Structure 1
Amino acid sequence: MRDTLRRRWLTLAIVTAAIFALGVTLVLMMTPQYSATARLRIDPARNPLAAADRNQQEALNPEAIDTEVTVLSSLDMARQVVRKLDLTHSPLFAKVLERTEGPALSSSEREDAVANALLQKLSVGREKLTYILSVRYSAPDAVMSARIANAFATSYIQSKTGSRQGTAERQAEWFRQRLDALGREVAAADARVAQYRAQAGIVQGGGLTQGTITDQQIAPLSNQLATAESDAAAARANLSAAQSQVRRGGADEVSQVLDSPVITDLRRQRAEVLRSMGEVQARYGERHPESIRVRDQLAALDAQLREESSRVVNSLRATAAAA
């Protein structure tokens, strides 16, 4: 064996070098592929239409999650992504449209061709036993790969939100129609009762409260009117005071805003974040990712404070208008 290697070492070296050179050449000729992954969390607890915990648990069974995976990787979802990113004019899919023989493709056929090409490099799956769905797409362009993965996730969220909103609107419309019908029936019944009492001369009450039907109807109406006027005046006074405080020092000076437990909790969180931001910036500097994260958290809390303050003032305005 040693004699053989000694006599043919040059041949073995040449063959090894040729194979190595061929492998390097093939690797250099390969087109790089970039994979981007977008993750979605399925959280039925945030579904306002879920009436009970039992319904929420049923919505989390494996069959329901597999259904969501199928929806994410469906041809309809791919068509939405094609239209959203205008991929029929992307150079990345030019070869897909060029390989088709025959007459020129229509716009819908071009969308279908690009959508099918998208699905070939799309991977959607559940991460282990969690409620996280990962959407992975591979392409020679790193930026386009990330845009396509994010577009699939965004289109899925918009489709789910739109369907739930439509269901809620249909339910609300049905309830409004039912309430209107019942209100008309009650009004008609009250009118017939009042007509019968007037014709029969029936009076209500006893003792000192006896009187005609008209007298007995006027008394509670007068009390209700006085109460309503008092409530309206109080609501207008609160709104006027709040608007005056807003003009002097902003929504943060409104009494109802200061008394809000939500505002109090948000301000407590903001104070903690401010203290943490000082420590983080002193330790790592302003450009450190941890410093940036703390600043983003502070900005989010400020936005929530402004939104909650505006909600309280708008609530006062709505209450005054309703009164």
Structure 2
Amino acid sequence: MGWGHHNQRRPRYIRVGLVNTQSIDANEPSPERASDSRSLFPDPRTILAVFRRRIWWFLIPVLLAAAALTVYLLLVHPRYAAEASVVIEPRKTEFITSNPNTAPIADSPPGNDEMDTEVQILTSTAMAGRVAEALHLEQYAEYRSAVPLVYNHKVPSQNPLARKLLQHMLIQRVGLTFVITVSAKSKDPALAARIANEYVQQYIAAGLDRKNSAAETTGDFLQSRLDELRNGAVAADAAVQRYKVQHGLMSAEGATMAEQEVSSLNEEIAKARADYAEKLGRLNSARSLAGQGGGQDLQTALQSPTIADLRSKEAEASRRLADLTAHYGNLYPEVVRTQKELSDIRTQISRELQRIVASLSGEAQIAGSRLSSLTQSQAQAHGQLASNGVSQIELLELQRKAEGASAIYAAYLNRSKEMISRKGLNTTDARIGTLSGVPTTPVSPNIPLAVLVAILAGIGFGCAGVFVAEYLDSGVSTKSDVERRLRVRYAGAVPELKSTLDGMRNVQSPQDYLIDHPNSAFAEAFRSLRAILMLRGGSGARVIAITSAMPREGKSTTSICLARTFVSSNMRTVLVDCDVRRRSSSDALLAEGSQGLLQYFRGETSMQDSLVKDKDTDLVILGTTLAPDVGHDVMTQANIDRMLQDLRPLFDVILLDTAPVLALAETRDLAAAADSVLIVTRWRKSSRKAVDAAIELLLHAGARLRGLALSRVDVKKFASTGPEDTFSYHKKFAGYYVN
């Protein structure tokens, strides 16, 4: 059942995901560890296992929330709430008007700003003070403590009863309606109802008081002003009439003669300007066309029959000239004569155009002269009108004063009539909507809501505590941690011996207990580990390196127990203590002063002479209880190769108890030389980052990782991590073990 020579090429198995394997040549570079390919959705059983493992992180916040709820319910006194309401009515115009033709004004509903104003009035200290005074709240124990010995009664904002009362009031508008609710809280339900009802009644009374006071003040003011305004209006009208007579400003149809003359001249000037502009435009157009040689266009614009006749002759002469030139050439006598005729015709056209332009120029001059004359007449009329300007301005000022005095007097007179008609008819713009009865059920504390909040808070903080504990946990605790986070094969769990004894007393070391109790759960864990390490077949000795990332992770104890387990299966087994600096295995199994391994490396003894047999089993140990000389490196690659070459023919299994990977570089050489490597990690104690770093170093060194085993596992606590390991079901297998 041995393996081939150490230098032979062997297939290597690296775990991919969680289920697949991949064969890789040992001499090729180490591949990256495969990532997990499971579903993104967490397994409910895994979540339950996390909560079981972190149960106190969850229960403590829940218990604290329950305790806080209990204290709250015991300390808080029940309070009752009574609610009344007022309705804000549309603004009314209920008065008797002196003008029968005046249409009634429609009621206007209150706007949002008006509703907000009414809410502010209700929540003012002045309103609260009226209620406190009406109910004599200082007589109630609930409010008695708020009354100081001395305070200013004339300042509502300093009224302590009012401020205390407002602390127990809730006044708000109901949505976008015209209803305002007034809610009062008190330890006494009857007092709460009295406060709410008194509040709305005092609000109605205060509104009526404000209106009556305003009406009385306005009436007194109007009456004192009416006589004065009436005399002023009469005097202003008389002044206007006297001024018109004195300055001759009387006129028919509301306008003076000078004003009528100016109006007529304005009309004449407008017509003259239009005529002058038209004739000047025709003149400018004719001059432009004549200058450009556009006689035909000018004839079309002016509709001149003379120009039309000459143009006809010009066209006929041009046609004949073209025919003669084509038949006889330019020197023919008839051609010369026709050319002269055509030139005379064009000369006549030019003279006729000049005559037309001169005629248009004369018409434009006449129109301009007429416009100038009318303008001069207008200036004279304006001069006449200006002579009365100062008088007219003064008249207008007197008229404005008279109109203003009359308007003010009329407004005051109408307002006085309105106030007289409304006397005794004042009503508030609000009415009581509902009055409150005596409440029977307290509104605080709200026990169902408090319980719900406590439950949600407890569960929320409990889940947060579990999440934080799980997030901050840097150890390796479960099979999932090994396979998902470290992405290596899970080799099993080695229990803490004490956790498997169910309270029984034990004074033996783990390696001695293994011999005396071969049917115990502790021994079975090592047989399971041995089975995983022996899954691969082959020929030659099997070299297994057992290492860890950090010291004190149970590596040496695991090596000794595993070696004795191999021996119990009748396999020739040697345990080599390669950790020559700590020498834990040698100190546990060898007599003091043994240094077979050092003597072998120095060449002082042969391999056979360096081996020591275990006193309790057939296990063979190659180790040393003495440290090597300072500065002398014994774990060289040459010594390792020579040692393994000498051991392979002698043993079926060679176990190498190495130093921690992160501590010494020689461990990577030993791991690379071994047929398989087992990493031992202390349950819940070892840093996951340190283990991950160790695995990376081993893979880069070409080590053949067989898996990772958790050491010193508490079986009972490990069962709460979920159904991932055999120890999760240890209670069901109790009858199979004899501890």
Instruction: Please say whether Structure 1 and Structure 2 have the same fold, judged by a TM-score greater than 0.5.
Output: no
Superposition TM-score, scaled by structure 1 size: 0.43
Q: Which protein has greater RCO, CA pairs closer than 8 Å, 6+ apart? A: 2
Q: Which one has the largest radius of gyration?
A: 2
Superposition TM-score, scaled by structure 2 size: 0.20
Q: Comparing both structures, which one devotes a greater share of its residues to helix? A: 1
Q: Comparing both structures, which one devotes a greater share of its residues to strand? A: 2
